[in-house]
Every structure is written in structure tokens, then in C-alpha cells.
Amino acid sequence: MAMGAEVEAIQTRNSEVRKSSGRFGGPTTTAGRQEERLGWMLLTPTVLVVVLVAIYPLLETFRLSFTNYRATRPDAWRYIGFENYRDLFADDVFLRSLRNTFVFTISSVGLETILGMVIALTIHSNFKGRGLVRTSMLVPWAIPTVVSSLLWVWMFHDGYGVINGVLVRAGFDRFQNFNWVGDPTTALGAVVAVDVWKTTPFMALLLLAGLQVIPEDVYEASRVDGASKWQQFWQITLPLLRPALLVALIFRTMASFRVFDMIFVMKQYATDTMSVSIFAFREMMVKQRYGFGSAAAVVIFLCIGLMVIGYTRLIRVEEG
Amino acid sequence: MAVSTTEANREFLQVSEEELQRFRSIPVRGEQARRSMGQILGRTWFWILILFILLYTLFPFYWAVVSSFKSSNELVKTPPTFWPTEPTLENYRNVFTDGGFMRALLNSTIVSTSVVIVSLVVGTLTAYAMARLNFRGRRFFMYLILSMTMFPGIAIIGSLFQIMKRFNAFDTLWGLIVVYLTFALPFTVWVLSNFFRAMPPDLEEAARVDGATQMQALRQVLIPLAIPGMVTTGLLAFIEAWSEFLYARTFTISEKAKTVQIAIADFTGNTQFEVPFGTRMAAAVVVTVPLLVGVLLVQRRIVSGMTAGAVKG
């Protein structure tokens, strides 16, 4: 989702939180009861939206995943237990999509972290035009995912793309008409490249924020002790950056794991790059196999759910 | 990089104070030349890296803009030209005369604006309750809201599709608006409640002492202070709604409800036989520019918000 959430999440961990009075029971005073009523009143619209449009459909997806429901014959369905899940893990295309998703997630989050770190360390010094560089990093982040995909499809174009154009001009003639997005050996890499381009700046800005709060005297002290730049990075920068890094990593992992639009726009239903989300989407919305597709959707939900639990543990909402 | 070179130089200078004196007494041209050479080298690498970062982040969009001004003949030139030799508005004319695309632009504007307005109005009230009122279950809802900001849409589209058909919400703008609230509203509540919590409670308490009710204190004290935060939050929610693809792909099918993301993904142009990359890039630019303008206007707040966020990380 948008980057504000991560930022605010980090803030909450530390912000002063008002102690709640009636922790083990209801409020006892009239004013307290009134406050409770007002609180619930203000909460109701949001809770209604969340419950009716997200939680209820989610439960419905769980239920569907235990049925053989198909939209093509809506009245002939029954509960079939875990059969969909068994079939799922025997389905080659699903297993392939699971593998693609893991490869996509690990390589893009890994590359984003390393590249983001290099960029953050570079910008983390005073120089003229620093503001400009930071602003430029908001550009890939603000461009809609569909647009980024189309943009890179055009740059990757086999005949007229600028990437092959530059490569050929630099003497790499074998890239003349090379189809980066179409060739099964490079397709997943091309998709990862687009994701890395879109999200590295965001990673760099988060890490930069973390870098800026490491006190300069820690470095000063280690310099006196004769630590090299390399040692300083591993023994000071990295450990002190850990909280910011961890939050950024979990957020990026969750977002990558459910990837849909970026790959869909570039490759549609091609098996060599299909993600689990695209697999689930096709089973449900194209093949109309709602039961089977829902099982795949549940798998994604559970994986991301685990990450969310880990994440909320990490930031401890409202320690009251 | 640059720092380490400077550092090495300083150490070099410190090591030999005596030598330095000697150097000072004699012409030091050689030494100075060497020092500045080292500095220049370090600086050079640093600026090359900066240049590379700028190129990496900005070139793809630059390329979209350049391509959008090229004629269809120039687009297929090899090697590609880095500046349109004969700039043309042809591609933009194609975009703005495409009825389907214009309708999609209107649809997206209606959907995103409505989502932002509803999220801000409802979200402010809920956020206030979360930040300032005591009631049972508050902690639980804080967790629920936070989890909702990371909710995977794929987990609900199948069943929601059936539900929306039943309520005639499929392929309608209002249906899409309601679905978009599932991410925009929790996001707004989460950000704004953190915003309210960070405000000193004294302000409100002073108003309460003067006899204001809680709602009056919210309206007259907190909201005016929160307006900059609300603008940023609203912009972020707008970007999310404007850029959303999965729900739009699932819950719309006809021109009357298709959003602009679907329209550009499906953009085939007027001719059937060539992929109209120029027109596609023009459409991409049209769809992106409003977001870029918004982000550039509040960029200081976005970046400083991130900085503030990690301060105590």
C-alpha cells in the first residue's frame, strides 16, 4: 500500500499513548459511559465497511475453497473438504506460479534492499542538489504500476526499444531484436527489473531516514579506535539500521508476494511469469472455478496473514 | 567514497606535522596537486554515482514523455533518437479524441475523488475516536485497521464478485467506490489517528474546560491543526485509488465504469495492425502527470514524514 502506513506504523511504536482507564471492565462514570458510546458511534461506519466488504467476503472465500462451486453450474455444488487444496498442490501450473512468486519476491526484495542501501548511503552526505535527488526518487514511486509496466514493455521492445538500441550501439550485436519480456529465460528477470525500479527509491528513502538518526559521534569514536569504513558499515550502520530495515523488508515482502498488476500487464497469463495471484484470478474469474481458485486465494491470504502477525508483533500497537 | 578520500588526506596531513612544516617552507605545488587529484577522483566517483541514480529514477518517465511526442515514423527508428526530431502532438490528439479513454478518465476522477472525500470525512471521526476516546475494544480495532492496510485483494474478489452481482453493484462506479473504501478508509484512519495522537492533549483539554463538547473540540481545535496532515493523507489515498488495478479489472467490464488503468492496459489505438506505442505513452503521461504534480507539491511533507517516522525507529 502507500508508504505513509509504514512510516506512521513506526511512529506509533514510540509515540506517547494515553493510558486507557477501563482495561478490565466497562467505564464506571456517566462521562465514561458517554465517551464509550461516542467512541462506538464514530467507529461504526468504518467497522461496517470493513466487516461487510472485506471480512464477510473473506469468510465466504474460505467457505468456497471447501466446495466445488463453479459459476457455470451455480446450483450443483457441494462441500468437498480439503480436495481443492490437495489438487492445488498437485497442479503443475500452481506449483510453477508458487515458485515464480517466491523467486520474484526474494530477488526483487533482495535487489531493492541492496540497491536502496547503496543509494541511501550515497545520498546520506551533504552535497548541492541533494533535495533534487530525493525528489527524483519519488517519481518511480508515484507512477501507477500499470504505467510503469507499459513504460518498461516499450523500453524492452525487441525491435524499437531503447534498451536494445543502446546495447547494440555499445557493440552487443546479439541483443538486436532480443525479446526481453517474451523470452522465457529473461521474462521473470524483466519483471523483477521493473519492480526493482519502482520500489527501490522507496526503500532508499526509508533507509535514508534511518541513517539520519544514527549519531555522528558513534562513527567518530570508532574512527579513533581505527575501524575501517567497511567495519563501520557492518558493526555500526547495519545494527543501528535494523529496525527501519526490518519494517521495510516485511512491508516489501508482503507487497511482492501478492503481485498481480505488474506481471499481468506485462505478461498476462504466461506460465513462465505467472504469480499465485494471477493463477487464482484466472481460476476464479476466467475459468469460473470459484472453489479451486478460492483455495489458491486462501493460500496467499494465509502467507500474508503470517507476515502481518509478525509485523504487528514487531511494532506493538499501542503498548498501554 | 568521497568521504573516505578526504579522510585519507586528513590523516596524511596529520601524520606528518613536521613534514608539513617542511612542505610549507618550500614550494608545495607537487603536494597540492596530488591532494586535489585525490579529491577530484573521489568527488568524480561520487557525482558519477549521483548522476547514475538520477538517470535510473528519471530516465524511464523521460523516455515516455519523449516517445509521446514522436511521430510513428520516428518511433520505429533504429537506433532510437533521444530527442524528438519533429515533435508532434498527434499522439495526444489520439488520446483526447478517444471517447473510451476520456470516459475512463472521468470515471477514475469520480471514483478517486469520492473515495478520498468519504475516507477523509468518515476516517477523521474514526481516527479521533481511536486516538482520544476510551472505549472497550479500541486496541482490537487498532490491530484490525492496521491489518486492513495490508489486506490482499485477491482473497476477496471471487466472493465479492458474486455479492456485487446480487446487489447490482457490479460494473457500477458506486460499487467500485465502496470496494476501494476497504483499503482507503483503514489507511486514512491509521495515518490520521497517529496524527491526532501526536498532538498535545492540552489544546483540547483547554477547550473542554471552556465548556466545549468532545465533538466541538474535534471540530474547532484538532481538525484545523490536522489539515496539512489530512491533505497529505488524502493525496496518498487518491494515488492508491487512481492506480488500483485488480479490483477495477474484476468489478468493471463496460465503458461506463472502466477506470483509466484498465483503459491504458487495454489501449489498442485506432489501427488494428500496429501497437500504437506513441499513443500509449501519451496516455501514460496523461494518467501520471496529475499524480506527479500532487506528489511534488507535498513532497516535503512526504519525505519529512518518513524522516520523522524513523527518528525513534
- Enumerate the residues of chain B whose CB falls inside 8 A of the CB of residue A208: 307
> pLDDT band at A320, cuts 50/70/90?
very low
Which of A45, A127, A229 lies at the smallest CB-CB distance from B4? A229
- The model's pTM is 0.85
Walk me through the domains of chain A, giving residue ranges and CATH numbers. 72-315 (1.10.3720.10)
Give dist(CA B14, CA B7) in Å, integer.
10
> pLDDT band at A69, cuts 50/70/90?
very high
Could A46 and B189 be called an inter-chain contact, meaning their C-beta atoms sit closer than 8 Å?
yes
Look-up: residue for cell 488495478?
B245
Q: What's chain A's average pLDDT?
A: 87
Q: Which CATH class is domain B99-268?
A: mainly alpha
Could B158 and A285 be called an inter-chain contact, meaning their C-beta atoms sit closer than 8 Å?
yes
Which bin fits B71, alpha (ψ -120 to 50), beta or left (φ > 0)?
Answer: beta
Asked if the model's pLDDT at residue B276 lies above 90, the reply is no
- Phi, psi at residue A23, to the nearest 5°? -75, -35
Exposure class string for B253-275: b at 16+ Cβ within 10 A, else e: eeeebbbbbbbbbebebeeeeee
Could B185 and A304 be called an inter-chain contact, meaning their C-beta atoms sit closer than 8 Å?
no
| Cα–Cα distances in angstroms (integers) from residue B23 to residues A173, B8, B27, B39, B134, in the given order | 55, 18, 7, 19, 73
Look-up: residue for cell 506509533?
A12
User: Among A158, A133, B101, which Cα is nearest to A167's?
Assistant: A158
Could A8 and B190 be called an inter-chain contact, meaning their C-beta atoms sit closer than 8 Å?
yes
Which of A18, A39, A243 lies at the smallest CB-CB distance from B313? A243
Whole-angstrom Cα Rg for chain B: 28
> pLDDT band at B153, cuts 50/70/90?
very high
Residue A320: closest C-alpha in chain B: B139
Give dist(CA B54, CA B49) in Å, integer.
9
Give the closest-approach CA distance of A44 to chain B in angstroms: 8
- Enumerate the residues of chain B whose CB falls inside 8 A of the CB of residue A60: 159, 162-163
Q: What is the pLDDT of residue B22?
A: 53
Residue of A49, A105, A118, A281 to mutate, testing the B interface (most B Cβ within 10 Å of its Cβ): A49
Indicate the DSSP class of residue A25: S
Could B63 and A151 be called an inter-chain contact, meaning their C-beta atoms sit closer than 8 Å?
yes
Percent of chain A with pLDDT over 90: 55
Strand, helix or coil at A70?
A: coil
Please enumerate in sequence order all residues whose Cβ is within 8 A of that of B290, keeping only pairs 6 or more positions apart, or say none. B242
CA angle centred on B166, ends B165 and B169, rounded to 5°: 50
Give dist(CA B195, CA B146) in Å, integer.
15
User: Among B260, B240, B311, B298, which Cα is nearest to B108's?
Assistant: B260
The least confident of B37-41, B207-211, B291-295 is B37-41
Give dist(CA A212, CA A314) in Å, integer.
21
Which of B46, B143, B187 lies at the smallest CB-CB distance from A312? B143
Q: Which of residues 258-277 of A touch B (CB under 8 A)?
A: 258, 260-261, 264-265, 277
Asked if the model's pLDDT at residue A152 lies above 90, the reply is yes
Give dist(CA B261, CA B116) in Å, integer.
18
Asked if the model's pLDDT at residue A146 lies above 90, the reply is yes
Asked whether the bond before B79 is cis by omega within 30 degrees of 0, the reply is yes
Cβ atoms of B144 and B193 within 8 Å: the answer is: no
Percent of chain A with pLDDT over 70: 89
Give the closest-approach CA distance of A91 to chain B in angstroms: 19
Which of A12, A22, A122 lies at the smallest CB-CB distance from B136? A22
- Enumerate the residues of chain B whose CB falls inside 8 A of the CB of residue A263: none
| A3-14 vs B223-243: helix crossing angle, rounded to 10 | 140
How does pLDDT run across B172-205, given as a tens digit for each residue? 999 999 999 999 999 999 888 888 888 888 888 8
Q: What is the 3-state secondary structure (H, E, C) of chain B?
A: CHHHHHHHHHHHHHHCHHHHHHHHHCCCHHHHHHHHHHHHHHHHHHHHHHHHHHHHHHHHHHHHHHHHCCCHHHHCCCCCCCCCCCCCCHHHHHHHCCHHHHHHHHHHHHHHHHHHHHHHHHHHHHHHHHHHCCCCCHHHHHHHHHHHCCCCHHHCHHHHHHHHHHCCCCCCHHHHHHHHHHHHHHHHHHHHHHHHHCCCHHHHHHHHHCCCCHHHHHHHHHHHHHHHHHHHHHHHHHHHHHHCCHHHHHHCCCCCCCCHHHHHHCCCCCCCCCCCHHHHHHHHHHHHHHHHHHHHHHHHHHHHHHHHHHHCC
**What is the Cα B249 distance to its own chain's centre?**
21
Q: What is the pLDDT of residue A293?
A: 96
How many residues in total does chain B contain?
313
Give dist(CA A49, CA B77) in Å, integer.
52
How does pLDDT run across A243-292, given as a tens digit for each residue? 888 888 888 898 999 999 999 999 999 999 999 999 999 999 999 999 99
- Enumerate the residues of chain A whose CB falls inside 8 A of the CB of residue B291: 142-144
- Enumerate the residues of chain A whose CB falls inside 8 A of the CB of residue B39: none
| A187-211 vs A238-257: helix crossing angle, rounded to 10 | 140
How does pLDDT run across B20-71, given as a tens digit for each residue? 455 455 544 444 455 566 677 778 889 999 999 999 999 999 999 999 999 9
Cβ atoms of B237 and B119 within 8 Å: the answer is: yes
Q: What is the DSSP string of A283-300?
A: IIIIS--HHHHHHHHHHH
User: Among B179, B170, B267, B246, which Cα is nearest to A278's?
Assistant: B246
Strand, helix or coil at A67?
A: strand
Give the closest-approach CA distance of A298 to chain B in angstroms: 6
Give dist(CA B75, CA A262) in Å, integer.
24
Strand, helix or coil at A79?
A: strand
Give the closest-approach CA distance of B223 to chain A in angstroms: 15
A92 in B contact zone (CB under 8 Å): no
Exposure class string for A251-271: b at 16+ Cβ within 10 A, else e: bbbbbbbbbbbbbbbbbeeee
The least confident of A25-39, A169-183, B110-124, B247-261 is A25-39
Could A1 and B311 be called an inter-chain contact, meaning their C-beta atoms sit closer than 8 Å?
no
Give dist(CA B182, CA B231) in Å, integer.
20
A32 in B contact zone (CB under 8 Å): yes
Percent of chain B with pLDDT over 90: 49
- Enumerate the residues of chain B whose CB falls inside 8 A of the CB of residue A13: 312-313
Q: Specify the DSSP element, H or E, that contains A4.
A: helix A3-14
> pLDDT band at B312, cuts 50/70/90?
very low
Residue A267: closest C-alpha in chain B: B265
Q: What is the pLDDT of residue A318?
A: 40
Asked if the model's pLDDT at residue A192 lies above 60, the reply is yes
Residue of A6, A8, A50, A70 to mutate, testing the B interface (most B Cβ within 10 Å of its Cβ): A8
Could A317 and B246 be called an inter-chain contact, meaning their C-beta atoms sit closer than 8 Å?
no
> pLDDT band at B135, cuts 50/70/90?
confident
Look-up: residue for cell 524499437?
A160
Which of B178, B261, B303 lies at the smallest CB-CB distance from A144? B261
Please enumerate in sequence order all residues whose Cβ is within 8 A of that of A98, keeping only pairs 6 or more positions apart, or say none. A276
> pLDDT band at B313, cuts 50/70/90?
very low
Look-up: residue for cell 477495477?
B248
Q: What is the pLDDT of residue A315?
A: 63
Cβ atoms of A61 and B156 within 8 Å: the answer is: yes
Could A27 and B187 be called an inter-chain contact, meaning their C-beta atoms sit closer than 8 Å?
no
A180 in B contact zone (CB under 8 Å): no
Residue B61: closest C-alpha in chain A: A151
Which of A36, A49, A162 lies at the smallest CB-CB distance from B185? A49
Contacts across the A-B interface (CB distance below 8 Å)? 354
How does pLDDT run across B74-104, given as a tens digit for each residue? 988 878 889 999 899 999 999 999 999 999 9
A158 in B contact zone (CB under 8 Å): no
Name the grid cell of A41. 458511534
- Enumerate the residues of chain B whose CB falls inside 8 A of the CB of residue A206: 306, 310
Look-up: residue for cell 596524511?
B12
Q: What's chain B's average pLDDT?
A: 83
Which of B1, B154, B312 lies at the smallest CB-CB distance from A258? B154
